[in-house]
Structure 1
Amino acid sequence: MKIIRGLPEKEREYKNPILTLGNFDGVHLGHQEIFKRVVKRAKEIEGTSIAITFDPHPLKILAPEKCPSLITNFKEKAEILESFQIDILFSIPFTREFSSLDADDFIKKIVVDKIGPKELFIGYDFAFGKGREGDTSVLKGLGESLGFKVTVVKPIRVGEKTVSSTLIRNLIKEGNVKEASVYLGRPYSISGEVIKGHGRGKGLGFPTANINFQNELIPSEGVYIGEILFGEERHKSLINVGTNPTFGEDKLNVEVFILDFGRDIYGEFLKVFFQEKIRGEIRFKTPEQLIVQMQKDLKQARDFFHNRRS
């Protein structure tokens, strides 16, 4: 997949473009359905599958106080889009000047003049242009007058719930990463460099990797079963999100105890996958009480992975 920051330098340089556009925060099952249909249609007409997104998120510019914690950063979003075989990803810098484009100008000057799509796939709740004045009906009207087809992809429902970024974001905040993974189509993950901590875990018999996370959205405080990706290797892990109240700290940390792992990985980059929360954060009276609980957590994690395998 080719990633282009900004708009195309040449107008209409792509063969039979099939396009989608949106913020795609979380790249959840609903977004994935759109990407699948874009790629399928592009292959049918020997065309080019293209996605347009915006960076930063528009609310970070227009109303920072209303902008939610994002589920995925741009790098993560791009990696997931590439896995769906999108040919080209445009990341358009979102500015106040850009936000002043009305719906008609956005479609004419950005979508039609620059790319010239044969067909545009959008989500059912898509809105665009100044003040989000353009909706799916407006877009269909513009498509008829400007010569491109508009396909509105219906929402994806799982059981009684409609998949959305808001639903997933709230579940992650609550620590319900297990249910969130159903709507994401994968476990929720964060990533960052391993940095030096206080070294208490090693003294307790549970050496942990302290993650200097770059993500905005962190699951609620507590202990989770999960995995880490180190290079190309995946390792079973216990993850602690919290402030280490037993030792009187108040800074939020993400620490990972990697099962059956003894290597020095300071300075390395890890991706941490959250699979299930097993308990909330507890303030213990003594380090010995903490050790007893950590041993119970470890047994629960080993049972989890054993049952998943069998």
Structure 2
Amino acid sequence: MKNTSSISPNNSITSLCIGKFDGVHIAHQALLLQSDVNGGVLIVGMDHTPSLTPKQEDFINLPVFRIRLEEVREMGAGEFAAFLCSRFPKLKKIIVGYDFRFGKNRSCVPQDLGEFFEVCVMDEICLDGISVHRQAILSDLVHGNLERANQMLGRCYEIKGHIIKGQGRGREECVPTLNLEVDQYALPKSGVYATMSKRRGVWYQSVSFLGHRLSSDRSFAIETHVLDVDLDGDEVGECVSVAFVAFIRSNQRFENLALLQTQIAKDIQKARELLIPSSICLQS
């Protein structure tokens, strides 16, 4: 994470979107659209763990700069404006959300910067009467409301992980899976999902499970089975992305292997039905 002294003066930035941007959801996207061709993004705040977007740069097509909240927390409007001008000498316009506050005890509002810059304040955006923000998306993911979470994000929720060695039972007893270790990301409700999985730059239709293996060793796992493609040669440590398209079912325990195999076949068929290309929005 860069601190204030690590942001070298940048003479190309004329407009700056300021906020936390975890999720880069549709409200953030509306804010980013107000930037000009020489715009940038200043991410202010502590790292969120778990996070919706540990690496916001994957979803923002503008230069991204970062500072810790502690470094500007006590600044008044004049001091904060001076800091911005020292780092972005040609800055003319700032763009912030309706709930943006800064300064000691969050006592300053965007209009306090109007003496120094053109200030654009974006209106609140709501879905189903609920304000679009990080906490709402996290709540929907945890409670299995994937459809609304994806609507708020403007894309399918995506996590990234690294391949780890699994039990070795999938290929022999059920279906082959890529077993993943995922850090930092907020995880959806345990269960089975229709997904798209990206490996080596290619997206594949898939069905994915996350949760405790109730029918075997009860350990927590994140596994994805790619449909119609046998991805042999799994490399431990290789990065794989999983985008959650639709929720299929909750996690459950099966009394024997035959019942598990039957359910997996049903899950795969359901995933095929749900993975209609025109309905899937992915980050390229």
Q: Secondary structure at the match of 1:19?
A: strand
Structure 2 CA distance for partners of 1:292 and 1:115, relative to 1, 3 Å: same
- Return the alpha-carbon distance in structure 2 between the equivalents of residues 170 and 91 of structure 1: 26
Greater than 6 Å deviation, 4+ residue runs: 8-11
> Is 1:236 matched up with 2:205?
yes
1:17 aligns with 14
SS of the equivalent of 2:179 reads strand
Q: Which residue of 1 aligns with 2:94?
A: 120
Which of 49, 53, 56 is the aligned partner of 1:72?
53
Alignment of 1:190-201 (within 5 A): 190-201=159-170
Distance, in Å, in 2 between the alignment partners of 1:153 and 1:240 is 38
> Aligned pair in 2 of structure 1 residues 199, 55: CA closer, same or farther (>3 Å)?
farther
Following TM superposition, by how much is the alpha carbon of 1:299 offset from its aligned partner in structure 2, in angstroms? 1.0
Partner residue in 2 for 1:261: 229
In the superposition, relative to structure 1, how do residues 280 and 13 fare at CA in structure 2: closer, same or farther (>3 Å)? Answer: closer
* Alignment partner of 1:188 is 2:192: no
C-alpha contact 1:190 1:215 (8 A) present in aligned 2? no
The answer to whether the 8 Å contact 2:245/2:275 transfers is: no
Cα deviation for residue 149 of structure 1 reads 1.1
TM-score by length of 1: 0.81
Structure 2 CA distance for partners of 1:265 and 1:115, relative to 1, 3 Å: same
Q: Which residue of 2 aligns with 1:274?
A: 244
User: Which residue number in structure 2 is paired with residue 5 of structure 1?
Assistant: 2
For the residues of structure 1 that align with 2:5 and 2:14, how far apart are their CA atoms?
A: 13
Query: Take 1:293 and 1:106, find their aligned partners in 2: how far apart are those partners?
Result: 61
1:34 corresponds to 2:13: no
Whole-angstrom distance in 1 between the partners of 2:73 and 2:15: 26
2:41 to 46, 51, 54: 51
* Alignment check: 8 A CA contact 1:210 1:255 kept: yes
How many residues were matched structurally?
276
* 1:172 equivalent in alignment to 2:141: yes
Counterpart residue number, 1:219: 188
Deviation at 1:12, TM superposition (A): 5.4
User: CA–CA distance in 2 between the matches of 1:35 and 1:223?
Assistant: 34
**Unaligned residue ranges in structure 1 (runs of 5+):** 58-66
Shift of 1:182: 0.8
Structure 1 vs Structure 2: percent identity of aligned residues?
26
Structure 2 CA distance, aligned partners of 1:33 and 1:306? 27
Tell me how far apart the structure 2 counterparts of residues 225 and 91 of structure 1 sit (CA, whole Å). 35
- The one-letter amino acid of 2:66's match is S
* Distance (whole Å) between structure 2 residues aligned to residue 237 and residue 106 of structure 1: 51
Residues 206-229 of structure 1 show CA distances to partners (whole Å, capped at 9, x for unaligned) of 111111112330011100001011
State the alpha-carbon separation in 2 of the partners of residues 240 and 129 from structure 1. 44
Counterpart in the other structure of 1:304: 274
Contact 2:197–2:242 (Cα < 8 Å) also in 1: yes
The runs of 5 or more residues in structure 2 that have no matched partner are: 280-284
Shift of residue 80, structure 1, vs aligned partner: 0.5
Provide Cα deviations, 1:67-114, integer angstroms capped at 9, x if missing partner: 6632110x2x111012xxx1x2111245x4x25523336513421332
CA distance in 2, matches of 1:259, 1:165: 32
Q: Following the alignment from structure 2 to structure 1, what is the Cα–Cα distance between the partners of residues 209 and 142?
A: 15
* CA distance 1:222–1:163, change in 2 (3 Å): same
RMSD: 2.3
Q: What SS does the aligned partner of 1:113 have?
A: helix
